[in-house]
Structure 1
């Protein structure tokens, strides 16, 4: 009897089409045949409706049944995909997530070599962060991939952590209880976690929130990704009882910091500051003769430094000032480039305007200084 189920379903489908076409006799014929082959509630309901009220009532039963089947199928799909069946993703995005999942070290995650420069590192992170951001990529596992990308950049962009990671970070954990990635393929390399959450890093990198109108940013399925506390708790759980191990790893860094502090204590502070510093007594404002750069000294400055020494001090002041302006200008330009890039990719007019209205004060000052140099 069970073997007749498929034939019975075919008969019911033929009967359903006959009902829609208004052919009552054909519908009755195939419904009766379906009942003989394999009785079902659906065929029985259509038969009763057709016998009592004609094809119009049976049509209503058929439509209700189809709607129920559709709702059941949609619910089944939502359950199997974690509530994200309405979110579309491509095969390329799925393959991208799987590639990140298979990566064994942070260099492989970002797609760079160990010799990569800071600019190459930033370029790689910018490209991947936009590609795998949960508001852009709805493929299963995209949130975890985004976390891993952010963690990789945060560690490798820190010179100290990067040196340590090059020595020990890429090694596979071994022994019982150390399966790579905790069973899901995402190993965050114990002892090399970032000091900032991926979403905070993303916002800092692109000068604001993600360019999206979605009110549920950083959401993947039923789990909201925007709660910093959850992520920090997750990292705390990952660390477990490895506090002593972490302390041993950080010992060389502590020694370097202590030596640096002691060295600074032994070296006398410079006789000037580019900013007023009441704590050191450098509150008297002066101006260099050449570039007219403001700087601050103590009240005893005139009596301690004569003309020859003053000329050398003012030269140092101007060099420090120009270096500071140049570095800050570079940061301004980089921020503007990042904003324009994100605005172009996501067609976000708000971010484009924000980039266009940046004042770039330090870059203007750098232009003024360059003109002075050329004029001199």
Structure 2
């Protein structure tokens, strides 16, 4: 039975699209099929609403007037049929949705510049998310606009993804099979679901910011390209049930990791600590400072070090100390150079003198130390 859940979900999605298109018979057919495959509260609610109120009431979809109606009808508030109440939207909301659809990149979606700070991104997202949330904005395509806004913020608020997007993101014509969720007629053509897809659903992102959706939602459903949502209570209930059913399965899957962690801890407890440290460590008693004879590298040992290690062993220990030290200096120098290179590149791309000056003022201490060590090796 559980194996039919995905197929049932697909049937519900097809039925939802049929409802939007006004095809009541097709919607009934796929909803009944979904109920046979795997009964869910969503399918049941849609069936009841469809049977009781007709195709336009099943998910609060407003049938758009033909283009022949002209601007006079478009300027008026239009009514959506709902299972519980009548919902309206304004011409301003319609124009806002069309603007989002025409946007060609994530910065344009949020209405910010490429230099926007994290606070500016948050402020822009908060304003747009409240304005286009499907429970508040019932204009045709508002759901797709809401998804674009969430996806744009999820990418740009992640420093790594934002950097990748700035380097490779661009306007791309949508090809067959690559059109974005609500793309349809609006024109921009940018594929918002290819290459830079959010790691969190628009609804979950909204709830993180505002602590939940609007309480007015009843039987509305929408998709984010991968997951379909019924009203908030049903969705949370299904998620809770899934987590409850999969608890034991999750525990079984995590068992190997837990065993590995325990084995690692036990092995560390059984292995004696190294006789030296490059830094003072009071927790292990390595607080006595010494210096290697060859490269004059500082290291720390315990108070009993002299009595435990003789001349031959001491020579080998100091060799290990110097090898560890050189390795650390080399790695840190590489990081310093990489950081300076990144700053100079960013300064060039964004024409930012502040970043350029910051890069030029870097002291590169570890690289200087690496040069000193190299001179010692050459001299030796």
What range is the shorter-chain TM-score in?
0.3 to 0.5
1:53-103 CA distance string (max 9 Å, x none):
999999999999999999999999999999999999999999999999999
CA distance in 2, matches of 1:355, 1:6: 53
Which residue in the other structure is 2:251 paired with?
247
SS at match of 2:205: helix
Which residue in the other structure is 1:305 paired with?
309
The verdict on how the C-alpha distance between 1:317 and 1:219 changes in structure 2, with shifts beyond 3 A counting, is: farther
CA distance in 2, matches of 1:99, 1:199: 21
Retained in 2: the 8 A contact 1:24–1:54? yes
Retained in 2: the 8 A contact 1:284–1:297? yes
CA RMSD, aligned part only? 21.1
CA distance in 1, matches of 2:30, 2:230: 56
SS at match of 2:290: strand
Q: TM-score, normalised by structure 1?
A: 0.40
Q: TM-score, normalised by structure 2?
A: 0.40
Which residue in the other structure is 1:79 paired with?
79
The verdict on how the C-alpha distance between 1:292 and 1:174 changes in structure 2, with shifts beyond 3 A counting, is: same
Uncovered stretches (5+) of structure 2, i.e. residues with no partner: none
Uncovered stretches (5+) of structure 1, i.e. residues with no partner: none
Cα shift at 1:279 = 1.0
1:219-266 CA distance string (max 9 Å, x none):
999999999999999999998986655544443333222222222211
CA distance in 1, matches of 2:60, 2:230: 46
The verdict on how the C-alpha distance between 1:106 and 1:296 changes in structure 2, with shifts beyond 3 A counting, is: farther
Q: How many equivalent residue pairs?
A: 376
1:114-144 CA distance string (max 9 Å, x none):
9999999999999999999999999999999
CA distance in 2, matches of 1:260, 1:41: 46
Query: 70-79 or 98-107: which moved more?
Result: 98-107
CA distance in 1, matches of 2:26, 2:42: 17
The verdict on how the C-alpha distance between 1:109 and 1:352 changes in structure 2, with shifts beyond 3 A counting, is: same
Query: 69-78 or 204-213: which moved more?
Result: 204-213
Query: 147-156 or 78-87: which moved more?
Result: 78-87
1:142-201 CA distance string (max 9 Å, x none):
999999999999999999999999999999999999999999999999999999999999
Cα shift at 1:349 = 1.2
Retained in 1: the 8 A contact 2:129–2:149? yes
Query: 216-225 or 31-40: which moved more?
Result: 31-40
SS at match of 1:79: strand
Retained in 2: the 8 A contact 1:19–1:58? yes
CA distance in 1, matches of 2:131, 2:344: 16
Cα shift at 1:332 = 1.2
CA distance in 2, matches of 1:246, 1:47: 34
CA distance in 2, matches of 1:142, 1:367: 61
Retained in 2: the 8 A contact 1:90–1:139? yes
Query: 331-340 or 166-175: which moved more?
Result: 166-175
Query: 196-205 or 322-331: which moved more?
Result: 196-205
Retained in 2: the 8 A contact 1:340–1:351? yes
CA distance in 2, matches of 1:91, 1:165: 33
Cα shift at 1:291 = 0.3
Which residue in the other structure is 2:35 paired with?
35
Retained in 1: the 8 A contact 2:59–2:83? no
The verdict on how the C-alpha distance between 1:73 and 1:192 changes in structure 2, with shifts beyond 3 A counting, is: closer
Retained in 1: the 8 A contact 2:20–2:61? no
Cα shift at 1:368 = 0.8
The verdict on how the C-alpha distance between 1:6 and 1:202 changes in structure 2, with shifts beyond 3 A counting, is: closer
Query: 117-126 or 4-13: which moved more?
Result: 4-13
Cα shift at 1:312 = 0.4
Query: 290-299 or 246-255: which moved more?
Result: 246-255
SS at match of 2:65: helix
Query: 28-37 or 124-133: which moved more?
Result: 28-37
